[in-house]
Amino acid sequence: MAADGQQHILAIGGISAGLGQRDDLPLLIRHALALAGTGGAPRVCVLATAGGDDPATYLRQYARLSQYGARVSHLQLFPMPNVADPEDLLLSQDVIFVGGGSVANLAAVWRVHGVDRIMRRAWESGVVLSGVSAGAICWFDGGTTDSFGPVLRPFAAGLGLLPGSYCPHYSSEPTRRPTFQSLVADGSLAAGIACDDGAAAHYVGQDLAEIVAERPDASGYLVEPDAAGAAVERALPARLLAAGP
């Protein structure tokens, strides 16, 4: 549970280049664990639903997280749940971390199994929720997605724990910024937050508390429609996370 008893979501735009295949635990994920304030042994459950429950993803996350003293578990839904009581598993965690992939498939599978309802209960009870890319969009009303093909489209079937929309990979993928701005401008998506790879939006309750970053050039942005039918982007200040031991 969160150290301060509040509701926390850390929505990560993407892991910085060079960290994706290494065994190091990225600073942004370490920050999610620190929010639990358990003194170094948080209970962490990993979900890779958006990637089809790829076994390699789970092996990599077990290896990374266990190096930092985390007590790791996972919830697998393909081809069937790997635990008898997913609700008991998820509600007993300090941190839930959701990986990237197809947010549309994630949302559909979660709803079939009732995981959307369980996630809301976990959030309300103080479990720290975090995720990257699809695992960040899912907490919002919607966002930009390539779930339906290589051309980005709007996705509006998120869990709605956080209001508005979210766009990951904002500066690293050439079509993300213009597509997100266009979708916000025409009303396909509500105004929202975008994050670069290496940056994350930290929410306390439903309020944006801060943008945190694992490198100096990563940031977050507020994107809103304007009166002229376009979109306005405002860069948000980001707090650079210390590398630590």
Locate 107 and state its tokens.
């949302």
Q: Report the distance separating Cα 167 and Cα 190, nearest Å.
A: 11
- 227 contacts: CB under 8 Å, gap ≥ 6: none
Write down the residue that tokens 């997100």 correspond to. 180
Which of the four pLDDT bands, split at 50, 70 and 90, describes residue 4?
A: confident
Domains of the chain: 8-240 (3.40.50.880)
113 carries an active-site annotation: no
Please tell me which residue in 8, 31, 74, 169 is annotated as part of the active site.
Answer: 169
pLDDT at residue 40, rounded to an integer: 73
Phi, psi of 205 (to 5 degrees): 65, -130
Share of the chain above pLDDT 90, in %: 89
| Whether the Cβ atoms of residue 92 and residue 118 lie closer than 8 Å to each other | no
| Whether the Cβ atoms of residue 155 and residue 143 lie closer than 8 Å to each other | yes
Q: Report the distance separating Cα 201 and Cα 6, nearest Å.
A: 16
Cα–Cα separations (whole angstroms), residue 120 to 2, 87, 129, 237: 15, 11, 10, 29
Q: Report the distance separating Cα 218 and Cα 198, nearest Å.
A: 6
Amino acid identity at 155? F
Q: Is the pLDDT of residue 198 over 80?
A: yes
Share of the chain above pLDDT 70, in %: 96
Locate 28 and state its tokens.
């942004």
Please tell me which residue in 102, 133, 171, 219 is annotated as part of the active site.
Answer: 133
Instruction: Give one word for 109, left, alpha or beta, with left for phi > 0 and alpha for psi -120 to 50.
Output: alpha
Cα–Cα separations (whole angstroms), residue 60 to 21, 56, 216: 9, 6, 26
133 carries an active-site annotation: yes
Locate 210 and state its tokens.
């801060």
Average pLDDT score over residue span 21-39: 84
Phi, psi of 37 (to 5 degrees): 60, 45
Give the model confidence (pLDDT) of 69-126 as tens digits: 999 999 999 999 999 999 999 999 999 999 999 999 999 999 999 999 999 999 999 9
Task: Quote the distance between the C-alpha of residue 118 and its chain's center.
Answer: 16
Locate 207 and state its tokens.
């309020």
Of 6-20, 39-53, 150-164, 225-239, give the lowest mean pLDDT range. Answer: 6-20
